[in-house]
Structure 1
Amino acid sequence: MKPDSKHFYQLSYEERLEKLKQQTGLSLDQVDLLKSHFDETGAVLIENYLTNYQLPEGIVPNLRVNGKNYWLPLVTEEPSVIAAASHGAKLLSADNGIEAQAGQRLVEGQVIVQTTAFTQLDQLIRQQQISILAVADQSHPSLKKYGGGAKKVVCRQLDESLSSVEIQVAVGEAMGANIVNTMAEAVANWLEQHKYQVVMSILSNAGTYQMVTVTGQVAVTKLAKKGLSGSQVANKIATASHIAQIDSKRAVTHNKGIMNGIDALVMALGNDWRAVESAIHLAAVVDNQYRGLSQWQVQGDKLVGTMTIPLPLGMVGGATKVLPLARINRQIANVTTVNEAMQVGAALGLAQNLAALVALVTEGIQRGHMSLQVKSLALANGATPAEIPVILTKIGSQQPDATEIKMIITAIRNSKGE
């Protein structure tokens, strides 16, 4: 059978590469590069596998949370993320460091029902709650052995013809998507047996019952920088925080800085960063306005920051044990439970946020950011890793463009007779 007569997913790995080469004009060197990153686990994990796309991983040392120091692996392609997180961690390291607390963790599933008789449906759910929970538990009985399982079911009206029957499930150390989807489908079948029309059933990524609160403080005197007193810097940070509460455009960038750290840790631990992003950005909407997730205030001689966010993580299932590096990263991070991972992840976000705000209200975000971006610019314009230190020495404090970088690279190579 010729490759062209098959669907793409039916092709062997070599056939897939050949097809892609024909369609896109990839060179032999490019195909060889794709092959060099082949991984058997990755080939099984996703559909139409091509290669493993690698991102750099670094370490944030000594983030202090609830009196314990953590060394956290971060996966990110963006320069300055790890430097900023490390700086924020140092600023917030006094005493017990960042205080963090995670509450009871439940994952929700939704069964969307089409009915104009909400009151009747709501009464049924209230009267039959025990039966419904039993139906859910029977679809995934192993959870009960570990103290988990379906805990509550409620009914919420969406509009005049649609309602949401919502089941709350304790999923233990798992992220819980597959568990809750199975339970939601079991409840959907039960509702259909009671003559209700079900539109769909699936988990919710809202993270409403997966909240974690973090609080960090730093002595105002530690914030003095670039001719500004610590008090001036602290007050400017408090103002910047307030702006993120009243202006959605500023809030988006404020929150992106927080997610720089959280996403990088979530990826390193083999978790679903898209689910985390979705839940956290929903939580940023308060009173129909998108707002900054953290708030900073000057309290006496301290700058105090607080943040409450959902953080839907899992320590078992999914890719957490499939990807070898995820297992290593979990050991590096030294987190043993989901609640601990939630606390550490949120604390990292707060530290990242503080460092960004300090830079923003003092020297400006570009100076520190661009000094690290120069390395990326040099690599993108043909520099080798060995040439980077020489390039940095030659440019000093300048902010060169691509043309200037290429001239420096040429000069370096000419001086070596290349």
Structure 2
Amino acid sequence: MHELNSRIAGFHKLGIQGRLDILKTKCNLDSTAITGMLNTGNLPPETADHLIENVVTTMNIPVGIATNMKVDGHDILVPMATEESSVVAAVCNAARQCYDTGGFATSMSGSHMIAQIQLVNITNPHFCRITILEKKEQIKKLCDDCDPVLLSLGGGFQDIEVRVIDSASGPMVITHLIVDTRDAMGANAVNTMAEQLAPLIEQWTGGKVYLRILSNLADRRLARARATWTCEAIGGTAVRDGILSAYHFAESDPYRAATHNKGIMNGVSAVVLATGNDTRAVEAGAHAYAARNGRYASLTHWEINASGDLVGSIEIPLAVGLVGGATKLHPMAKTNLQILGINTAQQLARVIAATGLAQNFAALKALATTGIQKGHMALHAQNVAMMAGAVGQQIHQVANAMIAQGTVRIDVAHQILQDL
């Protein structure tokens, strides 16, 4: 690691070129590196510079299209942004195998988000809880006045919940604002309402408010999807039973469930990212929801119906939006939403849930049959070939040679390339 001083006064005030000049000197970057950083792809540099702080470049992620997807009777094309081999192909294959049985049926619990207000320094928490609940109508007016546009769209304040919890710091009274955020993810809207309400809660109770922020455990915003795979479509009863066995393993063991759910999120996060939504918020909510019963478990359920078919379902919190943030500012996010052809945030969430279920089916089937590595390594071989320096037609030649040998490694790729 090279030694440098990371204290750079006024770095944030510089333009992209000014910041790159400093990086070039401090990090010994050559002209090729700087030229690459100046190429921001399909995100204009001025847009990038306003999305986050201290921008120096962008990092392009491949966007693939999942085909064969039928959701609620409509065929759609699903853009997926990911760097991982086999993810997009897996969704295409899974969707193809349930296409003739109707594809994916989806639903949504609603578009409600939760903001939390933390009250401390009180000796009578239950009394305070009742006091806050009495103020529901006053709270509703204050919240709706914060966002008249949201109110005009049919959203706004819906309800309050007030909980007393014990903590190492003593009793806390936690107020939940339940807000319908419609087609917005809703973080800014609910955070603003919580900020406005905090002083009143202090006034009513005599306590002290610290945190006032949304919860990413969006369990009032659950997306659901289900689909049926016939034994004939997936390769017989042995494949079906292997998938069930793999699911039962995940449902019983958190070590397996973590990887099982990661596979689901391969699909979920790829669509979330492609549409400019917050991948970290969705991932946090999903994994918290997977542990809601006190033990981390699968986000999906797999069963056999009366006809002997494999049926799968998923229920997952999905706080995604069509308005605000990168969704409206990133040109590719806007284009990807156009490709999807959806009109509401609920429709987007339902498509994402279906994609997650498809991804899970594909992973379970691979694990239960050929093993996950066969398909994954076949695609990964191309990446390894490029890492070894293969270009053009050499990429496929080197990849195919490694697959034929059954060994996909960089040293093997180097040797094959040298032989070529």
TM-score by length of 2: 0.93
Partners of 1:242 and 1:295 within 8 A in 2: no
Partners of 1:107 and 1:170 within 8 A in 2: yes
- Aligned residue for 1:261? 267
Partners of 1:148 and 1:172 within 8 A in 2: yes
Among 51, 55, 60, the alignment partner of 1:49 is 55
Amino acid of the structure 2 residue aligned with 1:187: L
Question: Per-residue CA shift, 1:31-54, capped at 9, x if unaligned?
Answer: 121112272211121100010100
Partners of 1:92 and 1:351 within 8 A in 2: no
Partners of 1:116 and 1:162 within 8 A in 2: no
CA RMSD of aligned residues (A): 1.5
Among 312, 324, 327, the alignment partner of 2:331 is 324
CA shift, 1:5, in A, is: 7.3
Question: Per-residue CA shift, 1:76-117, capped at 9, x if unaligned?
Answer: 100000111111111121243111111222011010000232
CA shift, 1:396, in A, is: 4.7
Q: Structure 1's 385 and 284: CA in aligned 2 closer, same or farther, altered over 3 A?
A: farther
Amino acid of the structure 1 residue aligned with 2:290: A
**Equivalences for residues 220-239 of structure 1 within 5 A:** 220-224=231-235, 230-239=236-245
DSSP-derived class of the 1:321 partner: helix
- Aligned residue for 1:356? 363
Question: Per-residue CA shift, 1:153-183, capped at 9, x if unaligned?
Answer: 1111121421211100011111111001100
Q: Structure 1's 396 and 289: CA in aligned 2 closer, same or farther, altered over 3 A?
A: closer
Q: Does 1:347 align with 2:357?
A: no
- Which ranges in structure 2 are unaligned for 5 or more consecutive residues? 1-6
Question: Per-residue CA shift, 1:224-279, capped at 9, x if unaligned?
Answer: 2xxxxx11111111111111111000000100111111100111111011110011
Q: Distance in 1 between matches of 2:223 and 2:147?
A: 27
Among 25, 33, 52, the alignment partner of 2:36 is 33
Q: Does 1:106 align with 2:116?
A: no
Partners of 1:64 and 1:93 within 8 A in 2: yes
Deviates more, 1:280-289 or 1:80-89: 280-289
Q: Does 1:19 align with 2:22?
A: yes
CA shift, 1:191, in A, is: 1.2
Q: Distance in 1 between matches of 2:240 and 2:352?
A: 24
- Aligned residue for 2:4? none
Amino acid of the structure 2 residue aligned with 1:139: C
- Aligned residue for 1:9? 12
Among 203, 209, 230, the alignment partner of 1:198 is 209
Q: Distance in 2 between matches of 1:392 and 1:333?
A: 33
**Equivalences for residues 81-230 of structure 1 within 5 A:** 81-114=87-120, 115-159=122-166, 160-194=170-204, 195-224=206-235, 230=236
Among 315, 320, 331, the alignment partner of 1:308 is 315
Q: Distance in 1 between matches of 2:157 and 2:335?
A: 32
**Identity over aligned pairs, percent:** 35
CA shift, 1:368, in A, is: 0.8
Aligned length: 404
Q: Distance in 2 between matches of 1:42 and 1:245?
A: 42
Amino acid of the structure 1 residue aligned with 2:210: V
- Aligned residue for 2:3? none
- In the TM superposition, structure 1's runs of 4+ consecutive aligned residues that sit over 4 Å from their partners are none
Among 356, 365, 383, the alignment partner of 1:376 is 383
Among 253, 256, 270, the alignment partner of 1:247 is 253
